[in-house]
Amino acid sequence: MYVRVEKGVSAPISRQIAEQVKAQCLAGILKPGDCLPSVRQLAKELAVNVNTVVRVYERLTAEGFLEMRHGEGTFVAPPSVATQAAAELKEQREQFAREFEALVRRGLMLGLTPPELRKMLTTAAADAKTGISQRTTAKHHPVGESP
Amino acid sequence: MSDQGISIQHLAKSYGANQVLRDVSLEIPAGQTFALLGRNGAGKTTTIRILLGLIPADSGRVTLDGLDPAQDALAVRRRTGYLAEDQTMYPWMTASELCRFLAPFYPTWDMAWAHDYLARFEIPLHTRIGRLSKGQSVKLGVAVALAHRPPLVILDDPAMGLDPIARKEFNRDLVEHLQTSGSTVLYSSHLLDEVEAVADAVAILDQGTIVRHGATESLRDEVKQILLPVSGLTARTRPAQLLDVRRHGDRLAIIVDEAPTYLRRLLEEGIEHEVVDLRLDEIFEAYVIGRTDDWPDMPVTETVATVN
């Protein structure tokens, strides 16, 4: 496993390591069942705090990329449908959060106040909810035609 | 407060009229790697010398694994590996002789390990210490400080005399041998990039006081640079923990601590902003030489941010 830590940059070291391992899992460079270097070994190789590596392994295990087998080591987890779907969902949600933030920022720049924005959100959420439920109940009837 | 690790409570020290430390308190849990950061003259070496029982404090109390160096300096020294800032060693001895000389002082001296260190640091065993280069004698100092496998390690700027390769070697050793064996490590440094990779927690010492301490990673989550438009800012918008203000045309670049709280406030007040992640050296700089007088229309009642 190739990981390179850049020192003196603004991305925290744990994030740098996590992202590189994750990318290698997703790209298939690290294959399911591959054994990762031990915490101690990787920490030594990168000259990075042991606890930082522990935290990275734990986080990636929680995210479903890795698997810590007690007494055996850390392995690349098999790509279960659930973890992949979860990863995808998480990514999409993050993308959504960024878009939402940009939208809010634009609203603020246009002179809307947070209470006004909140009101718009409540209304929009309520509208969207009725829209979605109408569409699901009217599933078999093409939109535009009355049932 | 636990008995293990290093505890510093309300330490004060003056040399004549010059107050070097005022009310310094720190808790370093056992097994932690802790970096003490500060400019020259900030009080790092004085703190370390008090911890070793080499000089007395004017007031306050320190304990190392429950031992008070003011009462029991020998017991402290037995379980502590110490490298002084400008360690001098008998120049007429060779590295090999120095090891044989030091071994009887320490019941736990590990000669094989000492020699392993010397080999990896490429220190000639049979050259007189007086003829070693600066880097070589620092490396020798590190090796003999750790050769009795102490549970506590206190190093006063060990990286200063080391070249980049030896520094990396030293950091690897710190990670491989000291962190994994659960040693408590306190070291001072100027090399912030390297500290960040290795230390669990850091403290910034400035003019004799601790201006900030915290886990290395959380420090970076909490101290951020924020870009704000100058217009629309009020005295109320001024953050409680303002560290630095730079004006760039109609924008302000400010550095704040407790950034998550402040960012929530900015969002509530509808102030457009941009957040920038900072490196450890930028955080250090903001704490040590940050200035806040560029904040626009600052009412005199507002206090300048300092952290206790």
Q: Does the beta-carbon distance from B279 to A109 stay under 8 Å?
A: no
d(CA B65, CA B151): 9
Each residue's pLDDT expressed in tens, for chain B with a length of 308 residues: 457 899 999 999 999 999 999 999 999 999 999 999 999 889 999 999 999 999 999 999 999 999 999 999 889 998 999 988 878 889 999 999 999 999 998 889 999 999 988 998 889 999 999 999 887 888 898 889 989 999 999 999 888 777 888 888 888 888 887 887 889 999 998 888 888 889 999 999 999 999 999 999 899 899 999 998 888 777 778 898 999 999 888 888 999 999 999 999 988 888 888 898 898 999 999 999 999 888 886 444 444 555 44
A10 to chain B, any CB pair closer than 8 A? The answer is yes
Q: Nearest residue on chain A to B280, judged by CA atoms?
A: A8
Question: Least CB-CB distance to A108: which of B193, B270, B279?
Answer: B270
* Among A10, A43, A48, beta carbon nearest to B278: A10
**Residue with tokens 């102030």, as numbered in its chain:** B271
Q: What is the dihedral of CA A6, A7, A10, A13, to 10 degrees?
A: 70
Sign of the four-CA dihedral A46, A50, A52, A57: positive
Alpha carbon of B199 to those of A30, B45, B191, B206: distances in Å? 29, 18, 12, 19
How close B172 comes to chain A (CA, Å)? 5
Cβ A48 vs Cβ A13: under 8 Å: yes
Chain A hits for B194, CB-CB cut-off 8 Å, are 7
Q: Helices in B184-239 by DSSP H: which ranges?
A: 192-198, 216-222
Q: Which of these, B155, B133, B116, B124, lies nearest to B36 by C-alpha position?
A: B155
> What pTM was estimated for this model as a whole?
0.76
Query: Which structure tokens are listed for A85?
Result: 């779907």
In the numeric block, the tokens 């507002």 are attached to B302
Q: Show pLDDT as tens, one digit a residue, over chain A (147 residues).
A: 888 888 878 788 898 999 899 888 887 888 888 999 999 899 988 989 999 999 999 999 988 889 998 888 999 988 766 567 677 778 888 888 888 888 888 888 888 888 889 899 988 888 888 777 766 555 555 444 444
The residue behind tokens 């009101």 is: A119
SS3 assignment, position B10: strand
Residue A68 forms beta bridges with which residues?
Answer: A74
Number of other residues whose CB lies within 10 A of the CB of residue B20 = 19
A-contacting residues in B 211-240 (Cβ below 8 Å): 216-217, 220
Picking from B257, B250, B267, the residue whose alpha carbon sits closest to that of residue B292 is B257
Single-letter code of the amino acid located at B206: D
